């Protein structure tokens, strides 16, 4: 066969071609060689000499297909109307397949003549193109277009109503007489006929089917909702709606084009949820307060569709948690308040966290509702603010970390500390917690009362991760001090004493605590005449320390130190750990068995309160015997030479290490003071860099800079006033709401 263009007899060639086309379009048997000959014919017609017969071929083919589809329609109409879906589908399936082959047969015409003459995409978009009808189409598109005009158009009404009927039957669960595959095929044909188009391929589908379907479905949903509402309780209603949601979703998958899924879903939600919002909202409140979990989950699924409304539901949930929290917290009392405080909050937190995971599918908005509720539980309402939580939480940590706490394993301790951190994150007054915590930590360290150093450090690391380095800075330095002290004492005992050939009458261990890092306060240091027995050791150490660090001043904190005293005058030797002041008192009995209180006070230069505090313990544990019930200035104290305790080693310091209530108010006051200074400092910093700033902007920036506490606006205002008074800043001249920095 030659590819050379030649003169062609159109009518003869078309006759042959036409019969093949007929065969292809009806999916009859067309042999390979015939196919190839006709394929060549198409080529030859297109390149025919002296002029191309392509246009003529195109026209003839169009007329042929027109007639063919016309004929198919007539056949269809003559068949039973009841089976229109099946018949149409069968027809369409064959035609559609045939058209694909025909498209192949005409590939030369498609590629060389039609596609070349087609407008480019750019021309299509930017206009200036002639009417669509005039535009020649590729054979495949032509075939589908003819189908659309000659088949779908005339049948549209009956087809669509048949489809709607099918879907409706499926809904009613009466079983569809037509195979869903076929219905879907028919529906798909509405999309497929436009598959060659570059734009708006689903427009026909939307207009033809989706619109009436949505209208019909809305009607159905409404009736159904109305029906259920009057016959069932709301929980039952919700169950039915959710089931319907699921079924509709499956139905969409089964029948419809994917673009319709979300539209059908919205339609469902509109008719079954949005129209009943008021009633549902009301029910939601009682569902939450009764914690009916299944209903809560169902309600969530229903309301999720309306984000605005989900917020209402979420707030109801939040309020429920807060009120449960404050109710249970109000009930706690007794000694172990800090324990129940933490346990209650943690149990609430866990309970609702699980609920969110299981019921609300870990929805983020609900998680944040839980957070907000916990914040209000922990901190109280703004009108009823207390610093109690910070203290309770710090005490809880103290209890866990202290020695003698009911034998918890490392693992358990860590778990409880993590619980504390959960609450800590919700705490507004983190600085207050820090103050309390550092005081208690100081006591644990100084009195060597810590359960485990590892646990202590892990807690501080946890705080650091939550709140940053600044927050734990001082706590860290306290640890470092302990470490350094260890080394120093070691060096002093092993090196210094040996080198200088000094031998001390008593062993001792020194903690060197940096004044700035420890919450101890210099004003607690009282006058005290050191017993002779101590002086040698102390002087030696001072000398040693000055040789190590020149120019540092040491202050001895007697009230914090303790020692072990060996009582040899008793029938059994006892080793008793006690406060330094107590030691000093007992040492006075070295050469006598009775002393008068006022003499002791004079000799030791102790103030009366200190003396009383320390001496009462000695009397209470019967080492000393008092002549009067209460200790007075003229009370005579006698050494109890018959003192006996089962244990050889004991400590009597515990009662002195308790936090007095005075210290709590002091702590609160000092934190308030720190806050004011912090706010003032940040105001000055902000104003210095901004020079001119609006009041509201300044307040917001201050709040954002306060990470460890939430400053109250009145406090900020007072700080601003103070700084205006001190002339760090002034009100801007022309604007009442602005401040400017005074350099």
Partner 1 sequence: VSKRHFHQFFGNKVANAEEKQMKRTLPLETKLDYLFDKYKDAEDEHFILADGVERLCSDLNLRPDDFKVLILAWKFNADQMYQFSRQEFLNGCKVLDAENISQINSRLSECVAELKNDPSQFKNLYKFTFKFGLDRAGGQRILPIDMAICLWKLVFTLNKPPILDRWLTFLQSDKTHIRGVPRDTWNMFLNFTETIGNDLSTYNDAEAWPSIFDDFVEYENDRLNQNVVSSDAERQNSINEKCKTDSGVI
Nearer to partner 1, 441 or 693 (CB): 693
Q: Decide: is 725 part of the binding site for partner 1 (CB under 8 A).
A: yes
Q: Decide: is 733 part of the binding site for partner 1 (CB under 8 A).
A: no
Nearer to partner 1, 564 or 737 (CB): 737
The answer for residues whose C-beta is within 8 angstroms of residue 549's C-beta and 6 or more apart is none
Q: Decide: is 270 part of the binding site for partner 1 (CB under 8 A).
A: no
Q: Decide: is 123 part of the binding site for partner 1 (CB under 8 A).
A: no
Min dist. Cβ of residue 719 to partner 1 (A) = 10
Q: How far apart are CA 181 and CA 539, in angstroms?
A: 101
Q: How far apart are CA 116 and CA 283, in angstroms?
A: 67
Q: Which residues 7-36 are close enough to bind partner 1 by CB under 8 A?
A: none
Nearer to partner 1, 535 or 712 (CB): 712
Q: Which residues 198-257 are close enough to bind partner 1 by CB under 8 A?
A: none
Min dist. Cβ of residue 381 to partner 1 (A) = 17
Contacts with partner 1 by CB under 8 A: the residue count is 15
Nearer to partner 1, 368 or 735 (CB): 735
Nearer to partner 1, 147 or 678 (CB): 678
Q: Decide: is 718 part of the binding site for partner 1 (CB under 8 A).
A: yes
Contact 475, 441 (CB under 8 A): yes
Q: Decide: is 713 part of the binding site for partner 1 (CB under 8 A).
A: yes
Q: Decide: is 676 part of the binding site for partner 1 (CB under 8 A).
A: no
Q: How far apart are CA 325 and CA 321, in angstroms?
A: 6
Among 93, 156, 254, 695, binds partner 1 (CB under 8 A): 695
Alpha-carbon dihedral 522, 527, 532, 533, rounded to 10 degrees? -40
Among 319, 371, 663, 738, binds partner 1 (CB under 8 A): 738
Among 18-26, 81-89, 594-602, 719-727, which window interacts with partner 1 (CB under 8 A)?
A: 719-727
Nearer to partner 1, 349 or 739 (CB): 739
Nearer to partner 1, 197 or 718 (CB): 718
Q: Decide: is 697 part of the binding site for partner 1 (CB under 8 A).
A: no
Contact 248, 268 (CB under 8 A): yes
Half-sphere exposure (CA, 13 Å, Cβ side) for 133? 1
Count Cβ atoms below 10 Å from residue 198 Cβ, excluding itself: 9
- CA distances (Å), origin 493, targets 17, 483, 511: 116, 16, 14
Min dist. Cβ of residue 667 to partner 1 (A) = 24
Residue 159: closest CA among 125, 132, 127, 193: 193
Among 524, 535, 717, 742, binds partner 1 (CB under 8 A): 717
636-639 and 692-694: which strand pairing? unpaired
Alpha-carbon dihedral 212, 218, 219, 221, rounded to 10 degrees? 140
Nearer to partner 1, 476 or 695 (CB): 695
Min dist. Cβ of residue 341 to partner 1 (A) = 32
Q: How far apart are CA 494 and CA 480, in angstroms?
A: 21
Residue 163: closest CA among 94, 203, 200, 216: 216
Q: Decide: is 90 part of the binding site for partner 1 (CB under 8 A).
A: no
Contact 440, 394 (CB under 8 A): yes
Q: How far apart are CA 106 and CA 306, in angstroms?
A: 53
Among 714, 733, 734, 743, binds partner 1 (CB under 8 A): 714
Among 245, 433, 558, 739, binds partner 1 (CB under 8 A): 739
Nearer to partner 1, 156 or 718 (CB): 718
Q: Decide: is 278 part of the binding site for partner 1 (CB under 8 A).
A: no
Among 571, 696, 733, 734, binds partner 1 (CB under 8 A): 696
Could you tell me if residue 630 is left (phi over 0), alpha (psi between -120 and 50 degrees) or otherwise beta? beta
Q: How far apart are CA 400 and CA 339, in angstroms?
A: 9
Residues in contact with partner 1 by CB under 8 A are 695-696, 713-714, 717-718, 720-721, 724-725, 731, 736-739
């Amino acid at each position: 066969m030659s590819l050379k263009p030649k003169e062609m007899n159109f009518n003869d060639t078309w006759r042959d071609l036409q019969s093949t086309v007929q065969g292809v379009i009806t999916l009859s048997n067309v042999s390979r060689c015939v196919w190839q000959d006709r394929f060549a014919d198409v080529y030859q017609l297109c390149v025919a000499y002296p002029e191309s017969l392509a246009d003529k071929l195109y026209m003839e083919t169009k007329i042929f297909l027109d007639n063919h589809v016309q004929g198919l329609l007539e056949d269809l109409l003559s068949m039973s109307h009841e089976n229109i879906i099946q018949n149409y589908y069968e027809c369409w399936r064959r035609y559609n397949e045939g058209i694909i082959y025909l498209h192949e047969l005409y590939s030369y015409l498609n590629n060389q003549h039609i596609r070349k003459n087609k407008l480019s995409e750019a021309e299509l978009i930017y206009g200036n193109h002639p009417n669509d009808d005039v535009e020649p189409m590729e054979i495949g598109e032509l075939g589908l277009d003819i189908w659309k005009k000659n088949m779908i158009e005339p049948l549209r009404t009956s087809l669509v109503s048949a489809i709607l009927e099918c879907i409706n039957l499926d809904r009613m669960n009466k079983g569809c007489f037509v195979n869903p595959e076929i219905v879907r095929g028919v529906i798909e044909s509405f999309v497929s006929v436009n598959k060659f188009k570059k734009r708006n391929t689903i427009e026909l589908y939307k207009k033809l089917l989706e619109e009436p379907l949505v209208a019909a479905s809305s009607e159905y949903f409404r009736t159904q909702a109305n029906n259920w509402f009057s016959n069932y309780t709301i929980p039952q209603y919700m169950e039915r709606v959710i089931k319907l949601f699921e079924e509709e979703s499956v139905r969409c998958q089964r029948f419809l084009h994917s673009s319709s899924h979300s539209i059908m879903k919205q339609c469902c939600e509109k008719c079954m949820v949005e129209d009943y919002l008021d009633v549902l909202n009301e029910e939601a409140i009682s569902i939450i307060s009764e914690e009916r979990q299944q209903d809560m989950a169902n309600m969530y699924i229903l309301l999720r569709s309306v984000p605005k409304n989900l917020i209402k539901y979420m707030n109801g949930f939040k309020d429920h948690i807060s009120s449960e929290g404050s109710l249970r917290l109000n009930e706690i009392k007794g000694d172990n308040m800090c324990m129940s405080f933490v346990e209650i909050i943690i149990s609430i937190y866990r309970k609702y966290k699980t609920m969110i995971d299981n019921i609300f599918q870990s929805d983020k908005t609900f998680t944040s509702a839980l957070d907000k509720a916990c914040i209000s539980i922990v901190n109280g309402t703004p009108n009823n603010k207390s610093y109690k939580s910070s203290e309770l939480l710090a005490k809880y940590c103290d209890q866990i970390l202290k020695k003698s706490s009911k034998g918890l394993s490392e693992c358990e301790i860590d778990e409880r500390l993590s619980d504390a951190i959960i609450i800590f994150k919700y705490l507004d007054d983190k600085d207050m917690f820090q103050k309390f915590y550092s005081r208690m930590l100081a006591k644990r360290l100084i009195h060597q009362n810590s359960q485990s150093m590892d646990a202590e450090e892990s807690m501080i690391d946890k705080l650091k991760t939550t709140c940053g380095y600044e927050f734990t800075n001082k706590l860290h330095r306290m640890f470092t001090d302990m470490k350094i002290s260890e080394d120093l004492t070691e060096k002093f005992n092993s090196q210094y004493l040996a080198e200088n050939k000094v031998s001390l009458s008593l062993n001792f261990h020194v903690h060197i605590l940096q004044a700035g890092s420890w919450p101890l306060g210099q004003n607690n240091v009282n006058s005290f005449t050191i017993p002779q027995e101590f002086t040698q050791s102390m002087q030696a150490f001072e000398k040693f320390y000055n040789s190590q660090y020149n120019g540092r001043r040491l202050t001895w904190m007697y009230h914090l130190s303790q020692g072990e005293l060996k009582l040899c005058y008793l029938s059994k030797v006892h080793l008793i750990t006690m406060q330094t002041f107590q030691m000093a008192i007992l040492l006075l009995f070295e050469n006598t068995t009775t002393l008068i209180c006022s003499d002791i006070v004079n000799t030791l230069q102790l103030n009366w309160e200190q003396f009383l505090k320390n001496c009462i313990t000695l009397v209470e544990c019967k080492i000393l015997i008092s002549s009067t019930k209460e200790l007075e200035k003229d009370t005579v104290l006698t050494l109890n030479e018959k003192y006996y305790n089962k244990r050889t080693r004991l400590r009597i310091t515990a009662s002195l290490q308790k936090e007095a209530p005075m210290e709590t108010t002091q702590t609160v006051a000092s934190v308030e003071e720190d806050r004011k200074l912090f706010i003032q400092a940040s105001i000055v910093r902000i104003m210095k860099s901004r020079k001119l700033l609006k009041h509201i902007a300044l307040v917001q920036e201050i709040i954002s800079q306060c990470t460890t506490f939430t400053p109250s606006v009145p406090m900020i205002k007072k700080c601003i006033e103070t700084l205006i008074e001190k002339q760090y800043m002034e009100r801007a001249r022309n604007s009442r709401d602005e401040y400017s920095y005074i350099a």
